[in-house]
Amino acid sequence: MVESATPSQAPSSSASLDTTRFMAKDLCAYLESYLEPDQVSEVYRAYLFGAEAHEGQTRLSGDPYIVHPLAVAKTMAEMRMDHRSIIAAILHDVMEDTHISKERIIEEFGEDVAELVDGVSKLTHLKFRSKAEAQAENFRKMMLAITRDLRVIMVKLADRLHNMRTLGVMRPDKGRRIARETLEIYAPIAQRLGMNAIRRELEVLGFASHNPLRYKVLQDAVKKSRGHRKEVMQKIETAICSRMEEAGIVSRIIGREKNLYSIYRKMQQKRLSFEEVFDVFAIRIVVTDVDACYRALGVVHNLYKPVPGRFKDYIAIPKANGYQSLHTVLFGPHGIPIEVQIRTEEMDRVAESGIAAHWLYKAGDRQSASAQARAREWLKGVLEIQQAAGNSMEFLENVKVDLFPEEVYIFTPRGEIMELPKGATAVDFAYAVHSDVGNTCVAAKIDRRLAPLSTKLESGRTVEVITAPGARPNPAWLNFVVTGKARAAIRHYLKNLQQGEAVNLGRRLLDKALIGVGKSLEEIPPEQMQGLLEDLQLPNLDALLGDVGLGNRMATLVARRLCSDDADAEADEAEPSPAILGKPLAVKGTEGMVLSFAKCCHPIPGDPIVGVMSAGRGLVVHREQCRNVAEYRNKPDKWIPVAWSEDSTQEYAAAIRAQTANKRGVLANLASVIADMGSNIENVSFDERDGHASTITFTLSVRSRKHLADLMRRLRRVPEVLRISRARG
């Protein structure tokens, strides 16, 4: 995106044209040090293509626009990235700011480059909208989550780096916002990926623009103390250098100064004064191999006395992020402490550029495989170092969480970010917003398009929930929701619903039982009812009726206790209750969750049926001849006489068994007859007896016994059918 510039139409001067051509040549010369010649010329072609696309656009600084992508490409080259990343860096703004389409880039530079450019453009559309710290954390994770190729993140970081380097020309308020975003989002991502060189520069530039006053104060303080330091520093470096030469160790010695942002942070976090943080000299010695590291350590310990207890061997025991180095602190001249780091060139490269240092490592695979796979490889490498060293996994856990998140990050229509577990659906999102939204949701819009509630959400999408007053949760949602909150809220709602239905059924059952003894619920004196409720420790009549309806309490027993004066009525429990002599309970099929039809015998209207009370489930209706109810015949309190209501309009499941000849297309023939008869197949099971005949069992939806009988008659006429029968429980 054009973050620090607005493309405007202005003729580019010939002088700046020279500048850009020089930059491009410089880039290519750099690339020749590690890429193949044909790859470098491909990069140059990308430069010509990009320059033409951005023709006439300028940066706020007045430079031709192409200067910016070239600078981004140079940063990528300094990390020794592959040629496709470099091309993507050169083209990273063309889809956003010119009329070049993705298809055009595919034509010119192939799928891989186009995907990278597209990825960078997509990140550009993610807008960081809130100040909350948790939001920043989520935003960082979201950036990584929606990026399938980590090179996209690297281009984005290089892009941000150049925008920060040229931030000076920007309006101060806008600059401050970009600086804050850099400190909160981009620098931590660079750190996560181990890209410390970029991270440090982003931090210093971000600090300078975000907090110019503090930056200035610290800068002045550093300048003041630097004066007398310079000489001492020089002396120390020369001393070490000559000792190294004497010992025959080839080395690079770098005097280091802590960057202003890390001084500022250290002062804040450890509550130290400027002198305490700054008055330490720091030196890095880079050598050729591990052996030389330890020899160099001997040399410096011989030159200045080491501070006891400050030596750390991160080569033998690397830091959690794979960082390797020897650390020691010396008493320098005048007792000034000197921090020394000693490491190999390779260790230095890893410490500076992190994941990028591993990019070209596997030169073998030409097709730059999925970057996520490379990230995994990188992590695996770090993991191996870790396991060998046996130290903390914390860093790794953090990186893993960031690169391969278990969560998805979703925008609300107002731009807030919601974190949900992977696999979360629109319903989970609705409940995460508010349980009322979940309870009344009817549809969802994902990126402004209508989508089913069961749609699994992807990171970076904007989701809007459509609710309707009076809408209710659907029990089927329990099959796809993944969050505890949604599950608990749906269950809670259904339980309330079930309780209501249980009270209704309980009232009917109790009334029926009372009629059996010649009474009705209205005739029971209130104090009698109250007495029973107290005995049973129930708060009210609904609680009692609910218990009866759910099958936790027997209606006949309750009825008997309500009618008898003495409390030991339970003594004659075993006696068959006269209640069973009453009129059977009418079953409509619409009683809801407290009445169900047995799966063993599939009763349908017209079948003689019985009801069995089952604790917690309410009334279960079986066919009278079902084997599973035989044992209840002697338990009259659980055995409820029921009959079909006249006005039942429901569909019911029925099971039929078909013996057929083994011929091709039998199942299809049967299925089409079933469909013609206005029935649906809910389930089919297939059982081949021998080579000649098979048994197919269908579970079908039917309206009544007559409907089923008609259906079976039609099926018998199918030539391959040998026998049709209804399956019994």
- Determine which one of 96, 108, 237, 419 is catalytic: 96
Residue in the block written with tokens 């009763």: 603
DSSP 414: T
In the complex with Mn ion, which residue's Cβ is closer, 54 or 140? 54
Stretch that binds Mn ion, among 87-95, 399-407, 427-435, 637-645 (CB under 5 A): 87-95
The nearer residue to Mn ion, 82 or 93, going by C-beta atoms, is: 93
Contacts of 559 (CB under 8 A, 6+ apart): 510, 513, 514, 516, 517, 519, 579
Handedness of CA 533, 538, 541, 547 (dihedral sign): negative
Shortest separation between residue 68's beta carbon and Mn ion, angstroms: 6
3, 82, 97, 159: which one is catalytic?
97
Q: Give Cβ neighbours of residue 14 (< 8 Å, ≥ 6 apart).
A: none
Of the candidate spans 93-101, 459-467, 523-531, 613-621, the one that interacts with Mn ion by CB under 5 A turns out to be 93-101
**What is the smallest separation between the CB atom of 56 and Mn ion, expressed in angstroms?**
17
> In this complex, which beta carbon is closest to Mn ion, that of residue 57 or of residue 648?
57
The minimum distance between CB 111 and Mn ion, in angstroms, equals 22
Q: Are strands 337-344 and 281-287 parallel, antiparallel or unpaired?
A: parallel
Annotation marks residue 96 as catalytic: yes
Q: For residue 372, which of 348, 410, 407, 399 has the smallest C-alpha distance?
A: 399
Nearer to Mn ion, 93 or 720 (CB): 93
Q: Cα separation of 729 and 195, whole Å? A: 69
Closest listed residue to residue 62, CA positions, set 20, 17, 12: 12
Closest to Mn ion by CB, 90 or 513:
90
User: Residue 173 Cβ, how far from Mn ion at the closest point, in Å?
Assistant: 20
Q: Which is nearer to Mn ion, 93 or 428 (CB)?
A: 93
d(CA 353, CA 78) in angstroms, rounded, equals 9
Which residue of the chain is nearest Mn ion when measured via CB? 159
Q: Which of 146, 154, 152, 148 is nearest to 192 (CA)?
A: 154
Among 42, 63, 93, 201, binds Mn ion (CB under 5 A): 93
Q: How far is the CB of 71 from Mn ion (least distance, A)?
A: 9
Spatial distance between the Cα atoms of 464 and 461, rounded to a whole number of angstroms: 10
First-last CA distance in the chain: 69
Q: What does the angle CA 437 – CA 440 – CA 441 come to, to the nearest 5 degrees?
A: 75
Both tokens of 571, joined, read 């003594």
Site string (158-197) toward Mn ion, x via CB under 5 A: -x--------------------------------------
Amino acid at 610: V
Which range of residues in 38-46, 92-100, 340-348, 490-498 is near Mn ion by CB under 5 A?
92-100
Query: What's 292-337 look like in SS3?
Result: HHHHHHHHHHHHCCECCCCCEECCCCCCCCCCCCEEEEEECHHHCE
Q: Which of residues 134-163 bind Mn ion (CB under 5 A)?
A: 159
- Write down the least CB distance from residue 282 to Mn ion, Å: 34
Supply φ then ψ for residue 661, to 5 degrees. -75, 150
Span of 91-99, 584-592, 620-628, 658-666 interacting with Mn ion by CB under 5 A: 91-99
Q: Alpha-carbon distance 703 to 649, whole Å?
A: 7
Helices (H), 390-483: 394-403, 426-433, 435-439
Find out whether 342 and 293 touch, Cβ atoms under 8 Å: yes
Number of residues that bind Mn ion (CB under 5 A): 2
- Give the closest residue to 117 by CA, choosing from 167, 46, 182, 60: 46
We find the least distance from the C-beta atom of residue 177 to Mn ion, in angstroms, to be 16
**Least CB distance from residue 1 to Mn ion, whole Å?**
6
Shortest distance, CB of residue 145 to Mn ion, whole angstroms?
A: 22
Residues 709-728 as x/- pattern, contact with Mn ion by CB under 5 A: --------------------
Stretch that binds Mn ion, among 85-93, 398-406, 545-553, 702-710 (CB under 5 A): 85-93
Q: Which is nearer to Mn ion, 93 or 348 (CB)?
A: 93
Q: Is 352 in the site for Mn ion (CB under 5 A)?
A: no
Q: Which of helix, strand or coil describes residue 610?
A: strand
Residues 6+ apart with CB under 8 A from 201: 161, 164
Q: Phi/psi of residue 215, each to 5°?
A: -60, -45
By CB under 5 A, the residues from 247 to 286 that bind Mn ion are none
Residue placing its CB nearer to Mn ion in the complex, 70 or 613: 70
Considering only the stretches 86-94, 414-422, 602-610, 697-705, report the one whose residues sit in contact with Mn ion under the rule CB under 5 A: 86-94
Q: Pick the closer one to Mn ion by CB: 46 or 293.
A: 46
Positions annotated as catalytic residues are 96-97
Residues that bind Mn ion (CB under 5 A): 93, 159
